Amino acid sequence: MSTVAQFTVGTTEVIARARQHSLGDLLRRTALRYPDKLAVVAGERRATYAEFDAAVNRAAHALADRGLAKGDRLALLSHNSWQYAVLVFAAAKLGVVLVPVNFMLGAEEIAYILTHSGATSMVAEDVLAPTAQQALASAGVTGGVRGWISLNGAIPEEGWEDVDVWIDGPGEDSEPGILIADDDPLRLMYTSGTESRPKGVMLSSRSLIAQYVSCIADGEMSVDDIEVHSLPMYHCAQLDCFFCVDVYLGATSIILPRPDPAMLLETIERERVTKLFAAPTVWISLLRHPDFDTRDLSSLRKGYYGASPMPVEVLRELQRRLPEIRLWNFYGQTEMAPLATILRPHEQLPRAGSAGRASINVETRVVDDEDNPVPPGEIGEIVHRSPHAALGYYNDEEKTASTFRNGWFHSGDLGIMSEDGYLSVVDRKKDMIKTGGENVASREVEEALYHLEGVAEAAVFGIPHPHWIEAVTAVIVAKDGVGLTVEQVRAHARARLASYKCPKYVVFTDVLPKNPSGKLLKRELRLRYAHLAPGESDA
């Protein structure tokens, strides 16, 4: 290699390090700006930004000492916790690709994610460790790192290490110093979408940080925010629209393991919380809880919701009972890291049901089957162009090419754009159900039901529900002479699927509606069975 070439390579790396702006850098820079500011509250733990950054560095060095390196996959199966927050940034500082796993999945579902992602290392919460071990065995995964998050006091089993030792032990707390490029993958977020198997969405620092900027600008987020994080951090909504944004800004994050309404209300009062993100179902549970009117919620100024539109009557009730709160609706997909459009506070009632307008770093269109923009007021597919967009789907070039064709991310959602740029989502992604903030692929549920002896045909879809927003519903045609029961169907589903994917309503029928080409008419089924849910408070 010539002297000139050596100089060029060396200079290129030096410049790259000087310009580096990765997910892990955000925490370090915030810790330099606000070392003594309260960063994270989780249970008994109250950590400043300097303490948070040091804990992340120790965990990163511990992972590196155990053989994890840039590009390796680390699966994380846990409820929200201090350890979860640390590992998100520890992996990012190493360039390790984090694979957050939905803690409601069964062992076989997790095994697929491990196999598909190539993750050989895993961290699991103690109560979820048996499921993790089953998944690892089913996937045939051996070797790698095993981390144990002891949230319930259980002692790590053989082969597992206590993550608290990585975080609080006498390890090195200096910056790991790994060179990470803007578009090096840092996350594999698994999303069910409309397929029977989840897809691995690859996100980079560029995708994430561009999205953080949009959240900050259009969501009016600031360093003074005190936010409670109770929805699962395996979702990029809670993790990347809110928690990581708070770290970027230097705001204070209160981490709760779950959105328990009593716990949320008590935390808002105790910590003087100013900001809360919750699915409409959680907002409804807060309004209905007996503590709502006895807690001091006067500190709460900003409210955010997503996953589904907020019912108009609930909007009105929130504004009446929390008159100081301002609300935002965030709409998007995991592939958009995840924000695409925002409905702002002054637009909530005048534009109720709308997904708002494109956020600052996003272009949004509604197009026909040939990707031509449709006129305002006409239905078409919602597409986006933005630095938020994912790098594609891991190990699926065909799906990536199809979804990102012609330089636009194709959401699969159908929508209508108004003359002044407001988007209304008129139909879900084909055959997808959003229940309680979770995505359920109807095809996956149908395939599970077809394994039940006696099922001739099955159609799964969502119907409106006063609490879950949509309830998973199955209509089944039984084989001649087979006496299937509702309980048999439910028991079969529970044995094969995560609980939130199991049908809340099961109906038997003689024939399913189809068009002349044999395509199942699920829209007709949704209308026909929409009456099942209202008034079913125990569903």
Q: Would you place residue 428 in the very low, low, confident or very high pLDDT band (cuts 50, 70, 90)?
A: low
Q: Residue 132: CA atoms inside 13 Å, Cβ hemisphere, count?
A: 29
Give the per-residue pLDDT at 3: 45
pLDDT, tens digit, for every residue of 106-134? 999 999 999 999 999 999 999 999 999 99
Q: Does CATH place domain 432-532 in 3.30.300.30?
A: yes
Give the per-residue pLDDT at 142: 93
pLDDT, tens digit, for every residue of 148-164? 999 998 999 999 999 99
Give the per-residue pLDDT at 267: 98
Identify residue 27 by its one-letter amino acid code: L
Report the candidate in 208, 179, 205 with the shortest Cα–Cα distance to residue 94. 179
What DSSP string describes 131-162?
HHHHHHHHHT--SS-EEEE-SS-PPPPTT-EE
| Sequence-ordered list of residues with C-beta below 8 angstroms from that of 232, at least 6 positions apart, any chain | 79, 80, 102, 103, 238
Give the per-residue pLDDT at 517: 44
With beta carbons less than 8 A apart as the criterion, state whether 305 and 277 touch.
yes
With beta carbons less than 8 A apart as the criterion, state whether 505 and 471 touch.
yes
Same fold across 213-427 and 432-532: no
Q: Would you place residue 430 in the very low, low, confident or very high pLDDT band (cuts 50, 70, 90)?
A: low
With beta carbons less than 8 A apart as the criterion, state whether 502 and 490 touch.
yes
**SS3 category, 523:** helix
Other CB atoms within 10 A of residue 179 CB: 12
Distance CA 305, CA 463 (A): 20
The residue-averaged pLDDT of 159-182 equals 96
**SS3 category, 505:** strand
Identify residue 398 by its one-letter amino acid code: E
Task: Determine which of 30-34, 308-312, 490-494 has the lowest per-residue pLDDT on average.
Answer: 308-312
What DSSP string describes 223-287?
TT-EEEE-S-TTSHIIIIIIIHHHHHHT-EEEE-SS--HHHHHHHHHHHT--EEE--HHHHHHHH
Q: Would you place residue 481 in the very low, low, confident or very high pLDDT band (cuts 50, 70, 90)?
A: confident
Distance CA 389, CA 208 (A): 9
Q: Which CATH class is domain 21-180?
A: alpha beta
Give the per-residue pLDDT at 1: 47
Give the per-residue pLDDT at 451: 87
Return the structure tokens found at 162. Answer: 């206590």
Whether the per-residue pLDDT at 448 is higher than 80: the answer is yes
Give the per-residue pLDDT at 536: 45
Give the per-residue pLDDT at 479: 85
What DSSP string describes 53-88?
HHHHHHHHHHHHHTT--TT-EEEEE--S-HHHHHHH
CA distances for 191 relative to 237, 275, 332, angstroms: 12, 27, 13
Whether the per-residue pLDDT at 519 is higher than 80: the answer is no
pLDDT, tens digit, for every residue of 80-106? 999 999 999 999 999 999 999 999 999
pLDDT, tens digit, for every residue of 378-417? 988 999 999 999 999 999 999 999 999 999 999 988 889 9
Whether the per-residue pLDDT at 146 is higher than 80: the answer is yes
Task: Determine which of 92-96, 293-297, 420-424, 482-486 has the lowest per-residue pLDDT on average.
Answer: 482-486
With beta carbons less than 8 A apart as the criterion, state whether 279 and 436 touch.
yes
311 preceded by cis ω (within 30°)? no
Could you give the strand order of the β-sheet that contains 357-358, starting from the edge strand earlier in sequence? 45-48, 38-42, 252-255, 226-229, 275-277, 302-306, 326-332, 339-343, 357-358
Give the per-residue pLDDT at 437: 82
Distance CA 175, CA 264 (A): 35
Question: Does an H or E element contain 400, and which?
Answer: helix 397-403
Q: What ranges do the domains of the chain cover?
A: 21-180, 213-427, 432-532
Q: Which CATH superfamily is domain 213-427 in?
A: ANL, N-terminal domain (3.40.50.12780)
Identify residue 189 by its one-letter amino acid code: M
Whether the per-residue pLDDT at 352 is higher than 60: the answer is yes
Q: For all residues of the chain together, what is the average pLDDT?
A: 92
With beta carbons less than 8 A apart as the criterion, state whether 366 and 423 touch.
yes
Distance CA 27, CA 50 (A): 9
Residue carrying the six token digits 């600031």: 222
Q: What is the DSSP letter of 372?
A: P
pTM of the predicted model as reported, rounded to 2 decimal places:
0.85
Return the structure tokens found at 335. Answer: 């592939």
| Sequence-ordered list of residues with C-beta below 8 angstroms from that of 152, at least 6 positions apart, any chain | 125, 126, 127
Return the structure tokens found at 31. Answer: 């810790």
| Sequence-ordered list of residues with C-beta below 8 angstroms from that of 494, at least 6 positions apart, any chain | 502
* Region of 193 on the Ramachandran plot (φ > 0 left; ψ -120 to 50 alpha; else beta): left
Q: What is the DSSP letter of 514?
A: B
**SS3 category, 474:** strand
Bridge-partner residues for 399, per DSSP? none
Whether the per-residue pLDDT at 537 is higher than 60: the answer is no
Give the per-residue pLDDT at 539: 39
